[in-house]
Chains A and B, each alone.
Chain A
């Protein structure tokens, strides 16, 4: 924003620093409303858009003309595309934006997964509003932020990321999908229906997965997957 020029063409006022632009994404309208009030209440920030689903979020973000925006992504979005899908896509399409995962008492698995798929930081909804706003400010300056319950140690987040990478590297995309579905507790037959393949195909995939992960049964495989944040056991919110 340029300063004003007087009619005589004298020196303009110093340019006002642009407000930090924020996009708020959360499944719950009340949460969006609350965050919007909080953020708009600050002179140095403004909410540029909001969305209740991953597709809406991508649309809302694509419409903006700014090169740098902070997108707060609630980690409770579910459905065909979930929050992690959204973070991954935002990261790919908008490399200059800052993406913050936002959960409620999320565990190390969830936080590590959010970071792994491309979030620039994580803020928990259970922190003081002042801290929440500070985190937005710091992250807009490209600082990595991790604010949340002190119980979640950095150590476990690092482990989670590493395990996630291990899984990713060892398993093919299809195998990861199969494992994610298996973790929902479905039978092989139900999995086959969900994935649109024959039951035989499912069991073959599972056998190969167990081999690659060095486990002997589905429960161990799921436990490995949960620890790495590949699947959320118990939900992220």
Chain B
């Protein structure tokens, strides 16, 4: 990695705060093998700029003033950016870190650490290593565990439902009355009630609102 002639590692940075951009810029200036080739302070237009500059490493601040930096990360990967991506974050919760890794980050550092050793981190990334702060790694792994458990519970809940019950659930979530559901499904209101009762029992709830909420939590329906 790096320019084949000079061996220099080309770096772009997207950072909301001047300090973030400053630290990265300083590290690049002081290192002979690192070169800052582009800098952006807002997400708008940044992905295009990075893609056209084509650096070896894109450093993305997730805490941007104009939105969640994760969007830029996703856009960058969707645009086919082949380089390494290092994300910087204030957030230490497992879900954010997991999301960043999920959408294509090769490294994740906590800004709270002061970004000491950013130069070394950039070199390791350029060499192909994945680089995550140990604390963030632990949080992400824990979140992964929760995700797996939720996926399993969701799957078990879905498997417990008959096809009819799933249809009824979807219609319930859309706010249909018993009569409307009966008409939509071509069955009598009494049969609808029976299905709804079965649904409540399997979801362990007592009302329509509870059913919809539980189903959404288990990812059985989309609330969008």
Report A's interface with B, CB cutoff 8 A.
Answer: 112, 115-121, 143-146, 150, 153-155, 157-159, 161-162, 164-165, 168-169, 172-173
In the assembled complex, the Cα of A168 lies from the Cα of B98 at a distance in Å of 23
Q: In the complex, which residue of chain B has the Cβ closest to the Cβ of A118?
A: B152
Interface of A is mostly: helix
The reply to whether A153 and B101 form a contact with Cβ atoms under 8 Å apart is yes
Q: Which of B128-144 contact A (CB under 8 A)?
A: 129-130, 138, 140-142, 144
A163: shortest Cβ distance to chain B, in Å? 10
Given contacts A158-B102, A165-B152, 7 further A-B contacts (CB under 8 A): A154-B144, A158-B101, A158-B147, A164-B151, A164-B155, A165-B219, A168-B159
Question: Which residue from chain A places its CB closest to the CB of B106 in the assembled complex?
Answer: A153
Query: Majority SS of interface residues in chain B?
Result: helix
Query: How many angstroms from the CA of A155 to the CA of B102 in the assembled complex?
Result: 4
Is B158 in the interface zone, CB < 8 Å from A? Answer: yes
Q: Given A153-B130, A161-B147 in contact, is the A169-B102 Cβ separation under 8 Å?
A: no
**B101 contacts which of A155, A165, A172 (Cβ < 8 Å)?**
A155
The answer to the question of B145 belonging to the interface, with a C-beta cut-off of 8 Å to chain A, is yes
Q: A112 vs B219: C-alpha distance in the bound complex, in angstroms?
A: 18
Which among B138, B148, B155 is the interface contact of A115 at CB below 8 angstroms?
B148
- Residues on A with C-beta less than 8 A from B148 are 112, 115-116, 119, 161
Count residues of chain B with CB under 8 A from any CB of chain A. 23
Does B104 touch A at the CB level, under 8 Å? yes
Contact, CB under 8 Å: B144 / A116: no
CB-CB contacts below 8 Å: B21-43 with A: none
Our pick among A150, A155, A157 for the contact of B104 (Cβ within 8 Å) is: A155
Chain A residues with Cβ below 8 Å from B144 are 115, 144, 146, 154, 157-158
A150, B137: Cα distance in complex, Å = 12
Q: A173 CA to B155 CA in the complex, in Å?
A: 11
Chain A CB within 10 Å — which of B140, B152, B154, B220 has the most? Answer: B152
Q: Which residue of B lies closest to A114 (CB)?
A: B148
Asked if residues B141 and A146 are in contact (CB atoms below 8 Å), the reply is yes
Question: In the complex, which of the residues B101, B129, B151 contacts A116, with contact meaning CB atoms closer than 8 Å?
Answer: B151
For A117, the chain B residues whose CB sits under 8 A away are 152
Shortest Cβ distance from B76 into chain A, in angstroms? Answer: 14
B158 touches A154 (CB 8 A): no
Enumerate 20 A-B pairs (CB-CB under 8 Å) in ascending A order: A115-B145, A115-B148, A116-B152, A116-B155, A143-B138, A144-B142, A145-B141, A150-B130, A154-B101, A154-B140, A154-B144, A155-B101, A155-B104, A158-B102, A165-B151, A165-B154, A165-B219, A168-B155, A169-B220, A172-B159
Residue of B nearest to A167 (CB): B155
In the bound complex, CA of A234 to CA of B138 (Å): 30
Give which listed residue, B103, B151, B159, B220, contacts A162 with CB less than 8 A: B151
Residues of A within 8 A of B101 (CB): 153-155, 158
Give which listed residue, A121, A155, A169, contacts B155 with CB less than 8 A: A169
Min distance, Cβ A146 to any Cβ of chain B, angstroms: 5
A contact residues around B220 at 8 Å (CB): 169
Closest chain-B Cβ to A134's Cβ sits at a distance in Å of 13
> Smallest CB–CB gap between B173 and chain A, Å?
15
Residue of A with least CB distance to B105: A155
**Complex Cα gap A117–B152 (Å):** 7
Across the two chains, which residue of chain B brings its CB closest to A168?
B155
Question: Binary interface profile of B, 108-146, with partner A (CB < 8 Å = 1, else 0)?
Answer: 000000000000000000000110000000101110110
B154 touches A169 (CB 8 A): yes
> What CA separation (Å) do A233 and B130 show in the bound complex?
26
Query: Complex formed: what's the CA distance from A115 to B148 in Å?
Result: 6
Smallest distance from the beta carbon of B93 to chain A beta carbons, Å?
Answer: 15
Task: List B contacts of A153 (CB < 8 A).
Answer: 101, 130
Decide if B158 touches A169 in the complex (CB within 8 Å): yes
| Set of chain A residues within 8 Å of B104, measured between Cβ atoms | 155
